[in-house]
Amino acid sequence: ILSPHGEPGMNSTSVTHFVLGAYMDIGLLKYPVFVFLLLWYAAILLSNLLLIAVISRSRSLHEPMFVFVCALFVNEVYGSTAIFPMLLSQILHEAHVITRAACLLQIFCLYSYGGTELNMLTLMSYDRYLAICRPLQYSSSMTPTKMAALMALAWGHSLLMNLFITYGLTGRLSQCRNVIDKVYCDNFWVVRLSCSDTTVSNIFGLVNVVCRLLCVITLILYSYGRILRVCLRSSKSARQTALSTCVPHLLSILNFSCGGLFELMQSRFDMSAVSTPLRIFLSLHWLTVQPLASPVIYGLKMTKIRLVVRTLLSRK
């Protein structure tokens, strides 16, 4: 294992581990922090798995909107499982070290989670556009076959793209330094610590981010622009019905976008002016807050889900 101050001139083949340098020495507070994070992770698993089971078992919820929501909950379980076990393990250890193979695997899981989340939220905005703006064609436009194809595209695109980025681009780089100034593995940092030519990785990463954001922002703005136009022309009851399904989705987009935006800024700009505890919290926001926010937002705001959960609990 290299020292925390791994020098650029070191032999690149000696880097088999990375040091996560953003962990602070909090002394005995690490035990309360460990318990808090453990309970948070348990709440994420419990809430998401409960709603997955509710949607799967209830025939009244076998509609495109709820199927997409269910897929979103599956992704929250996937993303939280990629970060929490490692966080809990690192908090209790004095040496915050991770192997290079485990680091690349975590990068793949975290970024494929983020990509799938973005794809699913975009897909859900398109679903709301069809349901509200083209209700007569909705059943023919959103058939089970088309739903399955869209979800396969959302998951497949993210998994294949991040597989190529993580192992095709980042994984081939030789490392000269090994200190990642974060509490989890980050693709940008691994590229930054490389002694290889990173031109291809940097250009591809920048083009991918810009194209992805442009496509997502354009589709979401177009969908909600048309929805707003229809709502303004509709009756009050129709507007309330539309809002009851759109508000949870908008809150979810806003929450994830804020966390993702800071993570993007932290990767590309110098954030040394921001205090370390705040920087750690904001960098973890998209990975720890979103997985619990999604089931809470959709479970409380979507009337159908809330009523089914209440009915099942009352039967129990």
- Delineate the domains of the chain, giving CATH numbers in brackets: 13-315 (1.20.1070.10)
Q: Identify the band that residue 162 occupies on the pLDDT scale cut at 50, 70 and 90.
A: very high
Cα separation, 123 vs 221, in Å, equals: 12
Cα separation, 263 vs 250, in Å, equals: 20
Q: For the sheet with 97-99, list strands across it.
A: 97-99, 17-20, 179-180
What is the per-residue pLDDT for 92?
87
The average pLDDT across 242-263 equals 87
pLDDT digits (tens, 9 = 90+) for 119-144: 999 999 999 999 998 888 898 889 99
Nearest Cα residue to 179 out of 284, 26, 24, 22: 22
pTM of the model: 0.89
- 34, pLDDT greater than 70: yes
**Phi and psi for 298 in degrees, rounded to 5?**
-75, -35
What is the per-residue pLDDT for 11?
44
Least confident segment among 18-32, 190-204, 259-273: 259-273
Q: Identify the band that residue 10 occupies on the pLDDT scale cut at 50, 70 and 90.
A: very low
The average pLDDT across 221-238 equals 87
Compute how many other C-beta atoms are within 10 angstroms of the C-beta atom of residue 55: 22
Helices within 269-302 (DSSP H only): 276-288, 290-301
